[in-house]
A and B are shown apart, each in its own frame.
Chain A
Amino acid sequence: MVPRGDRNSFDIRHQNPDGSQIVLSQTTLADGTKKVTGFKQTVDARDGTTTRVYADGRRVTEGRDFEHRSVGSGLNFVSRHNGLREAVLADGRPVFQDRFTDGGRRQVIERTRYARWSHGRPEYEPQPVIRRYDVVHIHGAPVAQYRPSRFAPDDYRGYYTRFAVPLVVGAAAWVAFAAPATTYSDPVALMGDMQISSGFEEGYAYSSPYDATLVEASPEAEGLRRQMATVQQQVKASVQSNPALKNQLATVDVQAASSQVQQAVDRAVPVQISEDIRQQVRKQVRLSVAMQQNGHPLVLTDVLASGYAKIYLFQTAQPLNVAEVSTGAECFLNTGDLIGFSTLPRGDSAFAEMKVVASGSNSCPAGSVVQVRLTELQEMLNGFSERVAENLKRVNACAASGGC
Chain B
Amino acid sequence: MFCTNCGKAIAAEVKFCPHCGAAQVPSAQSSAPTPSPTAATQSGPAAGSSGALPARKPVLWAGAVALLVALASAAGYWGWSNKGSDDELVRRLADEEQRRVASEKAAETAEFTAAQALLDKHIAVEEAQAQAHAPAAGQTKGTTRSR
* Contact (A286, B127) CB under 8 Å given A306-B118, A308-B122: yes
In the complex, the answer to whether A287 meets B115 with C-beta atoms within 8 Å is: no
Q: Which of these, A156, A290, A311, contacts B119 with CB under 8 Å?
A: A311
Stretch at the interface among A2-10, A265-273, A291-299: A291-299
Q: Mark A136-171, 1 if CB is under 8 A from B, else 0.
A: 000000000000000001001100111000000000
> Would you call A283 an interface residue if the criterion is a C-beta within 8 Å of the partner chain's C-beta atoms?
yes
How far is A27 from B139 in the complex, measured between Cα atoms in Å? 55
> Would you call A32 an interface residue if the criterion is a C-beta within 8 Å of the partner chain's C-beta atoms?
no
> Would you call B16 an interface residue if the criterion is a C-beta within 8 Å of the partner chain's C-beta atoms?
no
- Nearest-CB distance from B61 to chain A (Å)? 63
> Would you call B123 an interface residue if the criterion is a C-beta within 8 Å of the partner chain's C-beta atoms?
yes
**Which B residues are CB-close (under 8 A) to A287?**
119, 122-123, 126
How far is A311 from B119 in the complex, measured between Cα atoms in Å? 9
In the complex, the answer to whether B140 meets A161 with C-beta atoms within 8 Å is: yes
How far is A296 from B126 in the complex, measured between Cα atoms in Å? 9
How far is A156 from B126 in the complex, measured between Cα atoms in Å? 14
Interface of B is mostly: helix
How far is A289 from B126 in the complex, measured between Cα atoms in Å? 9
**Which A residues are CB-close (under 8 A) to B123?**
283, 286-287, 290
Q: Mark B106-132, 1 if CB is under 8 A from A, else 0.
A: 000001101110111011001101100
Q: Which of these, A153, A188, A309, A311, contacts B112 with CB under 8 Å?
A: A311
Q: Which of these, B115, B126, B140, B143, contacts A308 with CB under 8 Å?
A: B115
- Nearest-CB distance from A283 to chain B (Å)? 6
How far is A309 from B112 in the complex, measured between Cα atoms in Å? 10
In the complex, the answer to whether B120 meets A283 with C-beta atoms within 8 Å is: yes
In the complex, the answer to whether A307 meets B114 with C-beta atoms within 8 Å is: yes
**Which A residues are CB-close (under 8 A) to B122?**
287, 306, 308
**Which A residues are CB-close (under 8 A) to B129?**
290, 294
Q: How many residues of A contact B (CB 8 A)?
A: 23
In the complex, the answer to whether A307 meets B115 with C-beta atoms within 8 Å is: yes
**Which B residues are CB-close (under 8 A) to A153?**
134, 137-139
> Would you call B57 an interface residue if the criterion is a C-beta within 8 Å of the partner chain's C-beta atoms?
no
How far is A312 from B144 in the complex, measured between Cα atoms in Å? 25
> Would you call A310 an interface residue if the criterion is a C-beta within 8 Å of the partner chain's C-beta atoms?
yes
Instruction: Return the chain B residue nearest A309 by Cβ.
Output: B115
**Which A residues are CB-close (under 8 A) to B118?**
306-308
**Which A residues are CB-close (under 8 A) to B139?**
153, 156-157, 160
> Would you call B92 an interface residue if the criterion is a C-beta within 8 Å of the partner chain's C-beta atoms?
no
In the complex, the answer to whether B143 meets A290 with C-beta atoms within 8 Å is: no
How far is A144 from B137 in the complex, measured between Cα atoms in Å? 29
- Nearest-CB distance from B142 to chain A (Å)? 9
How far is A161 from B137 in the complex, measured between Cα atoms in Å? 16
Instruction: Return the chain B residue nearest A296 by Cβ.
Output: B126
How far is A156 from B139 in the complex, measured between Cα atoms in Å? 8
* Contact (A310, B115) CB under 8 Å given A153-B138, A156-B139, A160-B140: yes
> Would you call B133 an interface residue if the criterion is a C-beta within 8 Å of the partner chain's C-beta atoms?
yes
Q: Which of these, A286, A291, A294, A309, contacts B133 with CB under 8 Å?
A: A294
In the complex, the answer to whether A293 meets B119 with C-beta atoms within 8 Å is: no
In the complex, the answer to whether A294 meets B115 with C-beta atoms within 8 Å is: no
**Which A residues are CB-close (under 8 A) to B133?**
293-294
Identify 7 residue pairs between A and B in the complex whose beta-carbon atoms are under 8 Å apart, listed by A's number: A161-B140, A283-B119, A286-B123, A287-B122, A290-B123, A290-B126, A308-B115
Chain A residues at the B interface, C-beta cutoff of 8 Å? 153, 156-157, 160-162, 188, 283, 286-287, 289-291, 293-294, 296, 306-312
Shortest Cβ-Cβ A-B pairs, 10 listed: A290-B126, A293-B130, A160-B143, A308-B119, A153-B137, A308-B115, A307-B118, A290-B127, A311-B115, A308-B118
